[in-house]
Amino acid sequence: MDAEREYQTQPSFFLVRVRAFATPTYYSTSQLKRLWKELSIRVVQGKPLKPMENHYVNPPFTRGHGPGYTELELRFDAAQIESALMIIEVSSPDGQHVETNFDLDKLK
C-alpha cells in the first residue's frame, strides 16, 4: 500500500531516448555534448510534443578511444501521450534527416 501511495505522488512520464553515434566530426565527449545543441529533435503525435525535460546521458568509453555514442533522454508528461502513432524526427544543421515511427497502440 505504501508503494502504491508513493507511486501516485510521483508524476508519470514517458521516456524517449535518442542515440547518436560518434563520427570523425563528433568523437569526444565535449563534441558529442555540443551535438545535441545542433540537432533538431521533434516528437510528434498529430502535433509536436514538448518534453518536460531533456537529459544528456554520458556515454561509456570504448577501448580508451572515447565514447562510441551519446544519448539524449526526453521526458514527456505521460498524460500527453496517446495510444497512437508517434514519429520521432532528428535533423542536423547540414540537412541530414532521419525519422522513425512507433505505433504505440500496438505496443500495449
Mean pLDDT of 24-35: 75
User: In this structure, which topology does domain 2-103 adopt according to CATH?
Assistant: Immunoglobulin-like (2.60.40)
Global confidence as pTM: 0.78
Specify which residues 45 forms β-bridges with.
47
Q: Which tens digit of pLDDT belongs to each residue from 55-98?
A: 888 765 555 555 677 889 999 999 999 999 999 999 988 888 99
Domains of the chain, by residue range, sit at: 2-103
Contacts of 14 (CB under 8 A, 6+ apart): 75, 76, 77, 78, 81
- What percentage of residues in the chain have a pLDDT greater than 90? 45
